[in-house]
Chains A and B, each alone.
Chain A
Amino acid sequence: MTAKRRPGRYGLRFVALGYLAMLLLIPIGMISYRAFEHGFAAARSSVTTPDALHAFYMTIVIAVIAVVANTIFGVGCALLLVRSNFRGKALLNAIIDVPFAISPVVVGLSLLLLYGRTGWFGDVFLNNGIQILFAMPGMVLATIFVSLPFVVREVVPVLHEIGDEQEQAAETLGANWWQTFRRITLPAIRWGVAYGVVLTTARALGEFGAVAVVSGRISGQTETATLWVAREFGQFNTTGAYTASLVLALIAVATLLAMNLFKRKEAS
């Protein structure tokens, strides 16, 4: 094969790489270039202001909560969808994809309607001194909502593939539900879960629309990193905006790399 390569093959490669370059590599390259255009020190100081650090802090706390919640829900939901039969299963299966189908801004607005002062649940929480909107809880809710399907969608096909015989074998050997889950099911689906977690993390870090609506965008308080980037960009602090974008991208890539490292380590 190496001796005789058809020219068509090079053409296909060129198109694929060119497409990727136009859409991904060049924009990211440009951001890196613009971030460090005034030197490393300038870039660094632009994203270490108290507001910027607080924005990163908010993003990471929200992402961690959303990932934990969606992992637990996602694994449970996938087990329900694959391992049991109940009325309304098809409906549940369809509902899980709703966050993919509707715009994050709509998600934000619906939360506003539900938890706002005149909303259905608004009074209940406010009267008990719990602030949902324009505070962390609302932002967490919005982020959980938009990143909900990833773990479910990664785990369901893996559960189908492994089948339930291993679980039944564990059961006949005396394992209860929890022992079977922890020692058989979970290790078997671990890479599906891990991939779901990586995708959820990336989505949670990058969330903008829904959080923008429910947060009130109060800088230093309810501003996440993406909101901070948008505001700084609007105020012509391009170095800060580009550097923060780059940092967000690096965090997402780091989670992906971490997963691959674990995977490689285990395979060896």
Chain B
Amino acid sequence: MSIIVEGARKEFGDFVALDDVSIQVPDGSLTALLGPSGSGKSTLLRVIAGLEQPDSGRVMISGWDATDVPAQKRGVGFVFQHYAAFKHMTVRDNIAFGLSIRKRDNKEIDERVQELIQLVHLEGFGDRYPSQLSGGQRQRMALARALAVEPKVLLLDEPFGALDANVRKELRQWLRRLHDEVHVTTIFVTHDQEEAMEVAGQIVVMNEGRVEQTGQPTDLYEHPRTEFVMSFIGPVNRRGAMFIRPHDLELLQVPAPDAEEAMIERIVRLGFETRVELLLPDGQQIWAQMTRDEAEFDELAEGAIVYARPRRAKVFEANGEPRTEELSAAPGA
């Protein structure tokens, strides 16, 4: 079911949480709302769910105007950052809640709950209470609970935000696979660009209550339309008007056109990746990213002088399209 939000505006006192926001989410897609805290991404999700009423604007769910429909009747599944587990109910009763509200018969409920317990890998935990589960298990239970009523859309508000880094990574991949199986139109909110790039098919980047850019992950990375998107999606060095990705910065042993002299301040080795932190003559610090092999081949050492040359840079002009400058086509020259 597609979701369309048109011109949504929401204020909390003096704070403008949503400022004329419009988005389109295609049927069956997995979309991330990505932005820093206070960018309005959670408010937008809650407006779609009906948990928050917009001051103006419309919400359409599969062509049906849901703006004035209460959350109870929208047919959306919602997953909260802090799980919102029903603490006095077992896992089974939590998952069955929506079905028992709909007065389905017990046999049908039992079968469906069993199915969902398997889907979210909580076999054997059915009679436990939420307090007896780990964070990751609670969030999987919450997801099963939301899926039980076969929602038209699934909305997840920072679903992995409260989990350990390892569990986060695992659940991301799991959510991706789950979406491939269930195919329900899904929107999730995150402030983690890596999470959005890894999981989502489409990303909506938000900042200060507005949509900055919408697109596929690689598209946003390669063709950011604003400085904000450029620096929020992936790391960036800023040199004058140029925005340079650390992996687009090559380090030469000898002077060359467009190359700046720099001193290697520090080398950080992160397994496959090596980060070289550089100090420019004017005192600015930038960094270059390369593979471990590249760093070793060039025999880079802390304190050495190198010449840093951008292979590619983005320039954002006040009026008009952002420009990509290809400075040296041959990598590793």
Contact = CB atoms under 8 A, between A and B. Distances in A.
B107 interface: no
Contact of A175 (B82, B101, B142): B101
Given A174-B72, A184-B86, A188-B87, A169 B78 contact: yes
A188 B85 CA distance: 12
Contacts of B78: 168-169, 172
Nearest to A170: B97
Interface string A182-201: 01100110000000000000
B80 to A, nearest CB: 5
Given A165-B82, A179-B101, A172 B76 contact: yes
B183 to A, nearest CB: 20
A171 B146 CA distance: 11
A268 interface: no
A188 B86 CA distance: 9
A2 interface: no
A174 B101 CA distance: 7
Nearest to B93: A183
A171 B51 contact: yes
Given A173-B97, A173-B149, A166 B84 contact: yes
A176 interface: yes
A171 B101 contact: no
Interface string B131-144: 00000000000100
Interface string A121-165: 000000000000000000000000000000000000000000001
A175 B78 CA distance: 13
B71 interface: yes
Interface residues of B, number: 27
Nearest to B155: A172
Contacts of B142: 169
Interface residues of A, number: 16
Given A174-B102, A175-B72, A179-B101, A169 B49 contact: no
Nearest to B78: A172
B101 A173 contact: yes
Contacts of A183: 97
A169 B98 CA distance: 10
B9 interface: no
A172 B146 contact: yes
Nearest to A174: B101
Interface in A193-242: none
Contacts of A168: 51, 71, 78, 80, 84
Contacts of A175: 72, 97, 101
A170 B146 CA distance: 10
Chain B CB within 10 A, most for which of A166, A187, A188: A166
The 8 residue pairs across chains A and B that have the minimum distance between CB atoms: A173-B98, A165-B84, A169-B84, A172-B78, A187-B88, A171-B71, A174-B101, A175-B101
